[in-house]
């Protein structure tokens, strides 16, 4: 087998089935449902690998739900059983079909961690799919996604990059808007979230509380309330009394921060269009949201508080503490973005790294690009 596609049932599974049917490779698509299986005797699993494999999935659920401790103990036992079962099932499938590469989405949750554990033992390359870093694109990466991806982290690399359209702007004029969680659709339309914006402000997009970007790639800030505290500290110590901060809750996050809406007069909550908030802001502060890349593409100064593939000095301003953030905001007037460097960074994303067109609506251009990339992976395997 050339490519083994594996995903949960749903839109991603349909997408992988579409690829298996359209791409000229020997491939098949599998899901994570429970089925009778036999373990490959040649692939062993240790208790430490199980514990590591379930940890993020378990912690994510703990942040998302509030159950009594006795129930969490049962849930951990269930995840341990599930990991061992999926390992047994897929070690047998992989041993039988011997795929040259395996394709999954994201790779941080329990089922995908099983696949990566097996693939690592057998030295099989794993292609990680995910939403693209630029609007209407898709990620295809052998190392991982988000902060674990393969993008070079040195500004000089992008300074030396020769764009295919030298001199032309690569900035995307229109961003893709996120859909609001069904629990927040009506809430998001409240008039208080659509007031006139301050004349000068820094935009702060909140992220989904239980997202891997927060739980895995944000060493200094683990909740949006902590992020708010950092912003409040900067507001308190800001030398420019006219500067405000505008926060937008993540549309996909069902959680509401009601007690913070009017807690600080310098910090305003808004649900205006994200592109409008970026374009009218003086700068953007983010943990590691995709809004960070979108803000770069729109020529904005970006402070990055977490681990991110774009936390590159010279392209953005990586920050390690709330004191450093406060200091950098006070020095905001002393630096501007290097538009030439940012254009080259975005051009590299557009021309080299990202697959054109979102996986939600693949077309022939998307398929052609994927075919080329899969061929490179397969050829490297002999």
SS3 letters across the chain: CCEEEECCCCHHHHHHHHHHHHCCCCEEEECCCCCCCCCCCCCCCCHHHHHHHHHHHHHHHHHHCCCCHHHHHHHHHHHHHHHHHHHHHHHHHHHHHCCCEEEEECCCCHHHHHHHHHHHHHCCCEEEEEECCCCCEEEEECCCCHHHCCCCCCHHHHHCCCCCCCCCCCCCCCCCCCCCCCCCHHHHCCHHHHCCCCCEEEEEECCCCCCHHHHCCCCCCCCHHHHHHHHHHHHHCCCCCCEEEEEECCCCCCCCCHHHCCCCCCEEECCCCHHHHHHHCCEEEECCCHHHHHHHHCCCCEEECCCCCCCCECCEEECCCHHHHHHHHHCHHHCCCCHHHHHHHHHHHHHHHCEECCCCCCCHHHHHHHHHHHHHHHHHCC
**Residues lower than pLDDT 50 in the chain:** 167, 169-170
pTM of the entire structure?
0.90
pLDDT at 177: 65
Give domain 163-350's CATH superfamily.
Glycogen Phosphorylase B; (3.40.50.2000)
pLDDT at 72: 94
Q: How many CB atoms are closer than 10 A to CB 315?
A: 23
pLDDT at 176: 62
pLDDT at 247: 97
Domain ranges for the chain, please list them.
3-149+355-380, 163-350
């Amino acid at each position: 087998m050339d490519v083994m596609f594996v995903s949960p049932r749903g839109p991603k599974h349909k997408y992988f089935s579409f690829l298996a049917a359209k791409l000229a490779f020997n491939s098949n698509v599998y899901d994570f449902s429970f089925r009778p299986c036999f373990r490959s005797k040649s692939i062993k699993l240790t208790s430490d690998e199980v514990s590591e494999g379930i940890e993020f999935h378990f912690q994510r659920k703990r942040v998302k739900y509030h159950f009594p401790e006795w129930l969490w103990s049962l849930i951990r036992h269930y995840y341990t059983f599930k990991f061992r079962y999926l390992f047994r099932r897929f070690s047998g499938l992989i041993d039988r079909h011997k795929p040259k590469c395996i394709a999954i989405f994201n790779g941080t949750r329990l089922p995908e961690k099983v696949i990566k554990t097996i693939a690592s033992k057998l030295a099989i390359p794993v292609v990680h799919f995910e939403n693209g870093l630029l609007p209407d694109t898709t990620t295809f990466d052998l190392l991982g996604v988000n902060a674990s991806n393969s993008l070079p982290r040195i500004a000089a690399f992008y300074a030396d990059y020769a764009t295919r359209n030298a001199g032309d702007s690569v900035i995307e004029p229109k961003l893709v808007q996120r859909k609001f969680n069904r629990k927040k659709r009506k809430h998001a339309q409240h008039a208080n979230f659509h007031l006139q914006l301050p004349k000068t402000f820094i935009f702060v997009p909140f992220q989904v509380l239980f997202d891997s970007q927060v739980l895995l790639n944000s060493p200094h800030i683990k909740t949006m309330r902590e992020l708010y505290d950092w912003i409040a500290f900067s507001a308190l110590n800001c030398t420019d009394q006219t500067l405000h901060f505008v926060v937008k809750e993540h549309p996909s996050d069902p959680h509401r921060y009601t007690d913070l809406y009017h807690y600080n007069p310098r910090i305003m909550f808004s649900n205006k269009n994200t592109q409008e908030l970026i374009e009218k802001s003086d700068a953007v502060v983010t943990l590691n949201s995709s809004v960070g890349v979108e803000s770069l593409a729109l020529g904005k100064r970006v402070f990055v508080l977490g681990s991110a593939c774009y936390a590159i000095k010279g392209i953005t301003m990586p920050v390690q503490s709330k004191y450093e953030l406060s200091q950098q905001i006070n020095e905001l007037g002393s630096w501007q973005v290097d538009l030439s460097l940012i254009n080259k960074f975005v051009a590299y994303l557009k021309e080299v790294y990202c697959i054109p067109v979102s996986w939600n609506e693949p077309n022939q251009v998307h398929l052609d690009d994927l075919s080329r990339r899969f061929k490179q992976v397969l050829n490297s395997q002999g």
